[in-house]
């Protein structure tokens, strides 16, 4: 199977490599050319414009989008429209707001173009070796591409969730839960750090990863983070991100669902640039581990 792939950022680049490992032909395009040249050296077919990408794909075209949510997705689709035809398939694997996804699905459906939304989680490691995917859209089109999703997902790590937007909806809620879990871990280590004992945080994260109620991928990543920097002295507790979690909080308010833990996690992220907290350092370090998100280094 030959697939067009647009967006070679941290996640996109690793998904493209995952596809290449599974023997898919990948026609790769990115706004800046260097990632295209780099992945071409690893077996992808380079395309330096949307038009070139379309010309290198068979009909019906299958194109995976992995670009920043919001306006960049609309701009990418706009660039593709002149070369898209009836029965072509677009897959949005980014963190789009599900309301935008439903709108795009409706607009493209009028042209006979299929649009699947694919919530993609698992961080950089998941993208590279086996992601967790939640897919929304036309079920017949999902079934047509099911082998593709199965091939790049972790074992039992993909799910058809329902109509258009449902895959992205499930993903943003996943992100909201992630924010709360990160905040809880951060607060726990903050209390340990303030306590009367000289504790080894790497060892604590490690033992918690073996049999404890709170064991998780995040505790495993905490082991790696503390291994590199035992007391996180090299970084500041500035935490970025927050958009998808904010969407969840907004929808929860609209639907009269109480989400105090999420609201607190979002509030603490906003405050992280103003007040240094050890919990912020933990969250920043964990985000760097699973997603390659940039950390603010201490100048000392």
Q: Which domains does the chain have, with CATH numbers?
A: 2-162 (3.40.50.720), 171-291 (1.10.1040.10)
Give CA–CA dist 284/279, Å, rounded: 9
User: What is the pLDDT, as a whole number, of residue 242?
Assistant: 79
Give CA–CA dist 46/33, Å, rounded: 9
Give CA–CA dist 101/137, Å, rounded: 10
Instruction: Tell me the pTM.
Output: 0.94
Parts of the chain with a pLDDT under 50: none
Give CA–CA dist 253/247, Å, rounded: 10
User: What is the pLDDT, as a whole number, of residue 300?
Assistant: 62
Looking at the annotation, which residues are catalytic? 171, 178
User: What is the pLDDT, as a whole number, of residue 278?
Assistant: 96
| Of the candidates 190, 214, 212, 217, the residue with the CA atom closest to the CA atom of residue 201 | 190
Report pLDDT digits (tens) over 90-121.
999 999 999 999 999 999 999 999 999 999 99
């Amino acid at each position: 199977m030959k697939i067009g792939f647009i967006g070679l950022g941290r996640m996109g680049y690793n998904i493209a490599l995952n596809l290449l490992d599974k023997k898919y032909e990948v026609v790769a395009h990115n706004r800046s050319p260097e990632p295209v040249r780099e992945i071409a050296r690893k077996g992808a077919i380079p395309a330096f414009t949307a038009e070139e990408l379309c010309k290198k794909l068979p009909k019906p075209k299958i194109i995976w989008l992995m670009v920043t949510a919001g306006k960049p997705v609309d701009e990418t689709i706009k660039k593709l429209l002149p070369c898209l035809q009836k029965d072509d398939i677009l897959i949005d694997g980014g963190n789009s707001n599900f309301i935008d996804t439903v709108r795009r699905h409706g607009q493209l459906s009028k042209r006979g173009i299929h649009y699947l939304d694919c919530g993609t989680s698992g961080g950089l490691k998941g993208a590279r070796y086996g992601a967790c995917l939640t897919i929304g859209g036309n079920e017949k089109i999902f079934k047509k591409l099911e082998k593709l999703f199965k091939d790049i997902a972790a074992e039992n790590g993909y799910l058809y969730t329902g109509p258009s937007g449902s895959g992205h909806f499930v993903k943003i809620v996943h992100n909201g839960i992630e924010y709360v879990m990160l905040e809880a871990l951060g607060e726990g280590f903050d209390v340990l750090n303030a306590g009367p004992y000289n504790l080894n945080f790497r060892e604590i994260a490690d033992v918690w990863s073996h049999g404890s109620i709170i064991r998780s991928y995040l505790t495993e990543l905490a082991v790696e983070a503390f291994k590199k920097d035992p007391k996180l002295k090299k970084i500041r507790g500035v935490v970025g991100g927050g958009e998808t979690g904010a969407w969840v909080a907004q929808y929860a308010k609209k639907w009269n669902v109480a989400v105090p833990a999420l609201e607190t996690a979002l509030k603490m992220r906003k405050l992280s640039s103003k007040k240094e907290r050890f919990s912020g350092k933990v969250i920043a370090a964990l985000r760097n581990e699973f997603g390659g998100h940039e950390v603010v280094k201490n100048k000392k």
